[in-house]
Amino acid sequence: MKYLVVSDSHGDKAILQKLVTAYAGKVDLMLHCGDSELPVTDEVFKYFKVVRGNCDYDLDLQDEQFFDRGQDKILLVHGHLLGVGFGLGGLQAKMDELGANMAFFGHTHQLGVEVINGKLLLNPGSISYPRGKYTAIGGTFAIVETFADENGKQIEVQYYDRELNAIPELQVTFNGK
Ligand SMILES: [Mn+2]
């Protein structure tokens, strides 16, 4: 399965439209981790699954979503309600509660990915207002691909910039076992 993950676009609708044009129909799910600052009725959300961030005022946006895609049990949240700015413990507890083995979140505007106890936790970074070590890239999103081979479940993560170019140093493969 292939997932596009983006977050924290903060009113930058044009970049979401660009992602829709480039990727709709070419990935299994497009996910937005919140702080779009768009209403849930916006046309881009015909394509993106989305949750509510701390800067989203449409109360019809859900705080969390869960997707069961066979081997992939995906939790989508913004992260502010789980305290992701202070550590990933709250997010891990929520994953355990729901039986998720992958979590996509945002809020910090800092990209990051790790596997803890066989579970993937990924922040795509902010596509429009990046912070931290990779700020100079100017905004990022991620594509996550899961598949099984003779070594078991594999998870391949590739980060991209706003020009839709893969960032070579931001590619990592995890063995999910
Ligand atoms: Mn934000």
Q: What is the pLDDT of residues 104-132, one digit of tens each?
A: 999 999 999 999 999 999 999 999 999 99
Q: What is the pLDDT of residue 177?
A: 56
Separation CA 44–CA 46 (nearest Å): 5
Separation CA 74–CA 76 (nearest Å): 6
Quick one: which of 14, 21, 75, 78 has its CA closest to 47? 21
Please tell me the distance between residue 8's alpha carbon and the centre of ligand 1 in angstroms: 5
Compute the average pLDDT of residues 71-76: 97
Q: How many domains does the chain have?
A: 1
Q: Which residues surround ligand 1, an ion (CB under 5 A)?
A: 8, 35
What's the CA dihedral at 82, 84, 85, 88 to 10 degrees?
120
Please tell me the distance between residue 174's alpha carbon and the centre of ligand 1 in angstroms: 27
CATH number at residue 150: 3.60.21.10
Please tell me the distance between residue 55's alpha carbon and the centre of ligand 1 in angstroms: 7
Which residue segment(s) compose the domain that 114 sits in?
Answer: 2-176
Q: What is the pLDDT of residue 175?
A: 84
Regarding pTM above 0.95, the answer is yes
Please tell me the distance between residue 110's alpha carbon and the centre of ligand 1 in angstroms: 10
